[in-house]
Amino acid sequence: MPRVNANGIEIEYEEFGASHDPLIVLIAGFGEQMGSVEFPSDFCQDLSRNALRVVRFDNRDVGLSTHCTVSVSESGVASYTVVDMSDDVVGLASALGVDATHLIGVSMGGFIARWVAIRHPARVRSLSLIATPCGAKRGTEAAQRLSAPAPQALERMLGKARAGDREAAVAAYVQAWRSYNGPRFPFDETWVRRCGEYSYDRSYDPSGVARQFEAMIQSPDLLDAQERITCPTVVIQGDADPLVGVDHAREIASRISGARLKLIAGMGHEMPRQAWPELFGAVLDSVRLGGGGDPS
Q: pLDDT tens digits, residue range 98-156? A: 999 999 999 999 999 999 999 999 999 999 999 999 999 888 888 899 999 999 998 98
Residue 124 near residue 116, CB atoms below 8 Å: yes
47 part of a folded domain: yes
* Residue 126 placed within a domain: yes
Element (H, E) at 14: strand 9-16
Binned at pLDDT 50, 70 and 90, residue 249 comes out as very high
Number of independent structural domains in the chain: 1
Report the pLDDT value the prediction gives residue 295, as an integer from 0 to 100.
Answer: 53
Q: Is residue 33 one of the residues assigned to a domain?
A: yes
CATH code for position 29? 3.40.50.1820
Angle formed at CA 5 by CA 48 and CA 127, multiple of 5 degrees? 40
Helix (H) or strand (E) holding 188: none
* Model pLDDT, residue 74: 58
Q: Is residue 118 situated within a structural domain?
A: yes
CA 166 to chain CA mean position, Å = 24
In a domain, residue 54? The reply is yes
* Terminal-residue alpha carbon distance, the chain: 32
| CA separation, residue 110 to residues 24, 126, 130, 234, 288 (Å) | 14, 12, 7, 11, 20
Give yes or no for a contact between 260 and 253, defined as CB atoms under 8 angstroms apart: yes
List pLDDT tens digits, range 144-198.
999 999 999 989 888 876 777 999 999 999 999 999 999 999 999 999 999 999 9
Confidence label for 202 from pLDDT (cuts 50, 70 and 90) = very high
What integer is the mean pLDDT of 21-42? 94
Query: What is the span of the domain harbouring residue 225?
Result: 3-289
Rounded CA-CA distance 255/268 in Å is 23
Band of pLDDT at residue 35, cut at 50, 70 and 90 = confident
Give the predicted TM-score (pTM) of the model: 0.95
Side chain identity at 156, as an amino acid letter?
R
* The residue type at 96: L
How many C-beta atoms surround the C-beta of residue 140 within 10 A? 12
The kind and range of the H/E element at 193 are helix 189-202
Higher local confidence (pLDDT), 196 or 35: 196
d(CA 182, CA 22): 33
- pLDDT per position as a tens digit, 210-237: 899 999 989 999 999 999 999 999 999 9
Residue-wise over 63-77: b if at least 16 C-beta within 10 A, else e?
A: bbbbbbeeebeeeee
Q: Is residue 238 part of a domain?
A: yes
